[in-house]
A and B are shown apart, each in its own frame.
Chain A
Amino acid sequence: MSSRSSISKHTRSILPDPIQREAYWRGARELLPAAPGVFAWGLVTGVAMVKSGLSIEYALIMTFLAYAGSAQLAALPLLVTVAPLWVVALTAIAVNLRFVVYSAAMLPHLRHLPPSARVGLGYLIGDIGFAKFSALLEREPNYPHRVAYFAGGASCNWVLWQASSVIGILAATTIPVEWGLALAGTLVLIPLLVPFCRDRPALAGVCVASVVAIMGHGWPLRLGLVAGIVAGMLTALSLERLLQRQSAA
């Protein structure tokens, strides 16, 4: 693959250590099975941006700068109707609140890095990259090159997302979204979720998170999503503590 060798040259300057570089490519490789889903979701987002009335130029600028699919979609109707800027910013923050949880989970692993690397890796945080990183830590808690692994997976996700968004933006009128492309973006999350359902606390957390997210589906700013995540985490934690106390008694 000729394109890969030129990218390799680039990673060589950022990751001088060949073992780190190997971990980077491992992260990218292990994200690839999710590629069809990422790609489908990027296409749908690109199409939605143009169909909602944003011009092609601004849709492109937005996807490359923001790199936040759900926040972009939530902000679109506000932009088109010239809503106050603070409403736009608040909406983007609310819709992205789950990333605060993700970054809290990643903080212990990134603490030692320089600020620029922390911001760069933070920008790359997304649902799938975070899920793959967490799954790696479940399997190999002491894997020393986990940051490079995350960087590889997350930047692979970035490339897939941007490529598909650009195609969606440029070909908005010809892409048949009614074939259920958005569903492909949803279904790809299932294989990511299954490995985490390893014990009763996790299963209970998943159930409560789902039910609360369904109940809060109509809430503004996708706040039902955050409520579901927090409720699920609290449930899992409580059950974990309860089971520990029972086995200790």
Chain B
Amino acid sequence: MGPSDAYLWIAILAITLSALLTRAGLLLWGTGLRFRPVVQSALRYAPACALAAILVPDLVFVDQQLWLAPSNPKLLAGLASCLIFAFFRSMIGSLIGGMAVYWVVGYLFAG
């Protein structure tokens, strides 16, 4: 038996409130907090570390298997994107270049 309408509504509201709690809870109730300088320094590295922790596993895992070899098309696409952005500073260019590498390498290796 599948989920009832009432269950789905309440579950979706629970997800909404949970997501809101993580994003806005501190902003709503934490305005009295004053972070120590050491915490502020650490928080400056949050965007770099978060982006890396999201993106690198996405490139090295293919179908839940770690694939750390130059034949991994996703890894090559990421490296290409990185190089293109480093040299040309073009976000669109790095995306198109990365996808092109992914498709070409995937095509070549799939035979």
Contact = CB atoms under 8 A, between A and B. Distances in A.
A68 B51 contact: no
Contacts of B77: 183, 187
Q: Is the interface of B mostly helix, strand, loop or mixed?
A: helix
Given A193-B52, A214-B56, A99 B22 contact: yes
B42 to A, nearest CB: 4
B35 A104 contact: yes
B41 A33 contact: no
Query: What band does the interface of chain B fall in when counting residues whose beta carbon is under 8 Å from A?
Result: 35 or more
Contacts of A131: 47, 50-51
Nearest to A188: B95
Q: Is the interface of A mostly helix, strand, loop or mixed?
A: helix
Contact of B41 (A36, A193, A240): A240
A68 B16 CA distance: 8
Contacts of B60: 214
A232 B48 contact: yes
Given A107-B35, A191-B81, A218-B64, 19 more contacts: A33-B91, A36-B95, A65-B13, A68-B19, A72-B15, A79-B8, A80-B3, A88-B11, A96-B23, A103-B26, A134-B47, A183-B74, A184-B99, A186-B58, A187-B95, A201-B45, A205-B49, A209-B48, A229-B46
